[in-house]
Amino acid sequence: MDKVMRMSTEKGVVIFTKSSCCLCYAVQILFRDLRVQPTIHEIDNDPDVREIEKALIRLGCANAVPAVFVSGKLVGSTNEVMSLHLSGSLVPLIKPYQSFPN
């Protein structure tokens, strides 16, 4: 879907969330811990929320949210993010977008 395509290809880490979704919040915390400032699209207040949900599900995110895109490519939902991180493959993906440690 166009809107999803447009939003997901924004630079950096893009996460589609819902305000009521606590797993989405957990994923955001993880990226914050990794010193990344993701772009958050909270879809529940979007007029096209149903369309966006359907598009995300079609792309492979079973619950639609959270849906994580890095550098315009879909990484996946919570499962995929966790697997990638534990295998050490997440940090290389987001390295360009990490802010310097304080």
Position 87 contacts another protein (CB under 8 A) = yes
Identify whether the C-beta of residue 70 lies closer than 8 Å to the C-beta of residue 93. yes
User: Considering only residues 3, 25, 51, 98, which one is a binding residue for another protein as defined by CB under 8 A?
Assistant: 25
* Structure tokens, 16: 């589609």
Which letter, b or e, does each residue of 12-25 get, where b requires 16 or more Cβ atoms within 10 Å of its Cβ? ebbbbbbeebeebe
Stretch near another protein under the rule CB under 8 A, chosen from 6-14, 35-43, 44-52, 76-84: 76-84
Stretch near another protein under the rule CB under 8 A, chosen from 8-16, 17-25, 35-43, 92-100: 17-25
CA dist., res. 35 & res. 99, Å (int): 6
Position 37 contacts another protein (CB under 8 A) = no
Identify whether the C-beta of residue 56 lies closer than 8 Å to the C-beta of residue 63. no
**Binding interface with another protein (CB under 8 A):** 20-23, 25-27, 29-30, 33-34, 63, 78-79, 82-83, 85-88, 90
